[in-house]
A and B are shown apart, each in its own frame.
Chain A
Amino acid sequence: MIKSKIKLLVLSFLLLISLRPLQSAEMVDPIKVNWSFKGLTGTFDRASLQRGFQVYKEVCASCHSMQYLSYRNLGEPGGPEFSEQEVKAIAASFEIEDGPDSQGEMFTRPGKPSDKFKSPYPNVQAATAANGGAYPPDMSVLVKARKGGANYIYSVLVGYEDPPSGVTLDEGVYYNKYMAGNKIKMPNNLMDGLVEYADGTESTVDQMAKDVTTFLAWAAEPELEERHKTGVKVIIYLVLLTILVYLSMKKIWSRVDSEV
């Protein structure tokens, strides 16, 4: 009796949920990419993360900050896993403001692995003013901050098109198929061969978009690999314990004339 009711319940609920497309008809669904970090045991593609960092550094970083990441994160397990020397070299390539020193003066010095990623602008207002009134969002958790996650970020990067007839765009506004409202203030910065990958991979727009999205996905969830690994162990442990407890329960309840 109760089971058939629950079935009815689930069915009516599914029916309700199927009403959903009515609501979001005007937005184009992002392209589904088969990311290596998807699924229960997903991990990041190390080479792609390193290439993605290169794209970030050479293209995105001139406008977008990533203020919650430190250079040391680039060498940590589960990330791009640059070697210690590489991380030190990357950090040292940035001039970081530090201080005040004993004279009360601020000074600049080469970056250290413990430094946070250097932001391109001193504050949000400066970033907004320099970009035609649109703040280029901090990219530390961008993948988690957008519905559709990595698929959405990738889609926007490859979704630039000429506007359809009838759509007029203001100066400094671009047409993007996947952006909400189709209007975006970020120009299409990716073009084939823009960066020269150290590992010799051909830098097509699609390749760069995938690599940098992978990098951003890691930046938003640097714990992802450890989380997946731990999760599998935790679930296996819990299932085994559940079986043992279930058998104990059956044994204990066999003493009374009642179903458990």
Chain B
Amino acid sequence: MSEHEYTPKSKAGKWFNDRLPLLTLGAHLTDYPTPKNLNYWWTFGGILTFCLITQIVTGIVLAMHYVAHADLAFASVEHIMRDVNYGWLIRYIHSNGASMFFLAVYIHIFRSLFYGSYKSPREVIWIIGLMIYLLMMAAAFMGYVLPWGQMSFWGATVITNLFSAIPLVGDSITTWLWGAYSVDNPTLNRFFSLHYLIPFLILGLVVLHIWALHVPGNNNPVGIDIKKPSKDTVPFHPYITIKDAFALLVFMIIFAGFVFFTPNVLGHSDNYIPANPLVTPAHIVPEWYLLPFYAILRSVPDKLGGVILMFSAIFILFVLPWLDTSKVRSAVFRPIYRQFFWILVIDVLMLGYVGAMPAEGIYLVLARVGTIYYFLHFIVVMPVVGFLEKTDPIPMSISEPVLTGGAEPSLARKVNDKV
């Protein structure tokens, strides 16, 4: 794991480290050579770790006061808000924390897309990351059900009903998921159980994610391989720790702004109405971070087709490292791909927007256009642009500026010549 041998100075430390090399691990983590040119888009890994820990800690406290029962859940949340010391703070941190978590993860994922961090040799990091993202969506969805408000109940009804689209066994699977013949108390109970479990699965995957990262080391904005340790790298501590701390604090200011001044702006007002199986809300919408997928789901007139397309939208990301044919990682040196990257960003934002609107008229048209582009981007644009694109010259190392005018051509290689 480590590039250098570490020997503890004290005798006791050496005795312990020979038996369990925790100190070696600590030394590896602090010395870990990191590219010195990482920009602020690279600080979101640390921010995401903070988000996960925050959710776990606040969640454990909430679980001490919450009651997972269809008749009592809503009241127990109000009990937390009114009677538990700082219960309102803990709950608002947890509910807004979910949104902040997704905000950070989307930036993290798009950073990876822009700088080609998913490419060889980092495919496994990418895939583990996507598994974390999938679990996050499951945890967030189930967590939103727990307050047992109208959106909780009807969101759960819509999403679990998706499984009934599966031919032959769909209805049986849905009943099995519910533990009843509709979303009911057994559903709430199991969602609570799973909602408590998933964050710890995520934690385990985060360890693997970081482990897999530490094998090849970080990608960087230039996207080239670097020797480590070298003059191109800095030790993780204190250089990256202090930079991550600064970025985290800025993130926390925004987080606190939501928690203290607009704690409900990201939620839906209907979720303060207790769940009522007899009254369907006018518009059932998921939380904002699931809206792009909701738009894809609703863009297809056929239920099964919509479900397949929605899940494909996520699973297509798993094969992204093999769909991208470009030898150059960073979009900084890919003038054509860079344009398409920003089109994808706009496309996903647009899908998110139309996902919140009724599926009719102009919104349905936009949803369909957006869905088509989303898939075209990965299935057609990425393989084709990778082949055809004439990339810009890239420097040999991150210490050098990008080649300015052929003073020493040997320093640079034109990657597209090799393709």
- Listed in ascending order, the chain A residues whose CB lies under 8 Å from chain B are 5, 8-9, 12-13, 16-17, 19, 22-23, 40, 67-69, 73, 137-138, 140-141, 144-147, 149, 180, 220, 222-223, 227-228, 230-232, 234-235, 238-239, 241-242, 245-246, 248-249, 252-253, 256, 258, 260
Contacts and interface: CB of A to CB of B under 8 A. Distances in A.
A258 B37 contact: yes
B200 interface: no
- For the complex of A and B, the 4 pairs showing the least CB-CB separation, nearest first, are A231-B260, A145-B272, A242-B249, A223-B88
Given A13-B349, A227-B263, 6 more contacts: A9-B345, A68-B78, A140-B78, A231-B259, A238-B249, A245-B249
Nearest to A13: B349
Contacts of A67: 75
Nearest to A142: B272
Q: Using C-beta atoms within 8 Å of the partner chain, give the interface range for chain B.
A: 35 or more
A231 B255 CA distance: 11
A196 to B, nearest CB: 31
Contacts of B349: 9, 12-13, 16
A67 B256 CA distance: 30
Nearest to B257: A235
Interface string B327-363: 0000000000000001001100110010001100010
A144 B269 CA distance: 6
B243 interface: yes
A147 B88 contact: no
Tell me if B's interface is mostly helix, strand, loop or mixed: helix
Nearest to B350: A16
B67 interface: no
B45 to A, nearest CB: 17
B402 interface: no
Tell me if A's interface is mostly helix, strand, loop or mixed: helix
Interface stretch (B133-141, B204-212, B234-242, B288-296): B234-242
A64 B374 CA distance: 49
Contacts of B345: 9
A9 B342 contact: yes
A238 B253 contact: yes
B239 A235 contact: no
Interface of B: 36-37, 75, 78-79, 81-82, 88-89, 92, 234, 238-239, 242-243, 245-246, 249-250, 252-253, 256-257, 259-261, 263-264, 269-270, 272-274, 282, 342, 345-346, 349-350, 353, 357-358, 362
Contacts of B82: 68-69, 73, 222
B36 A145 contact: no
Given A12-B346, A249-B243, A145 B269 contact: yes
B351 to A, nearest CB: 11
Given A23-B358, A73-B82, A234 B246 contact: no
Contacts of B270: 145
Contacts of B75: 67-68
Contacts of A149: 269
Contacts of A248: 242
A145 B77 CA distance: 14
Contacts of A73: 82
B249 A241 contact: yes
Contacts of A17: 353
Contacts of A40: 261
* Interface-central residue, B88, B261, B263, B362, by most chain A CB under 10 Å: B261
B243 A260 contact: yes
Contacts of B263: 227
Contacts of B272: 141, 144-145, 220
A23 B36 contact: no
Given A23-B357, A231-B259, A239-B253, A147 B346 contact: no
A256 B252 CA distance: 28
Contacts of B36: 256, 258
Nearest to A17: B353
A249 B239 CA distance: 8
A242 B346 CA distance: 31
Nearest to A242: B249
B256 A252 contact: no
A113 B273 CA distance: 26
Contacts of B342: 5, 8-9
A258 B260 CA distance: 37
A23 B36 CA distance: 49
Nearest to A39: B261
B78 A141 contact: yes
B242 A227 contact: no
B107 to A, nearest CB: 12
Contacts of A138: 274
A145 B362 contact: no
A5 B331 CA distance: 13
Contacts of A144: 264, 269, 272
Contact of B269 (A13, A146, A230): A146
B238 to A, nearest CB: 5
Given A68-B75, A73-B82, A144-B264, A245 B242 contact: yes
Contacts of A5: 342
27 contacts: A9-B346, A13-B346, A16-B350, A67-B75, A73-B82, A137-B273, A141-B272, A145-B269, A145-B270, A145-B273, A180-B282, A220-B272, A222-B82, A227-B92, A231-B257, A231-B260, A238-B249, A238-B256, A239-B253, A242-B249, A245-B249, A246-B246, A249-B243, A249-B246, A253-B243, A256-B234, A258-B234
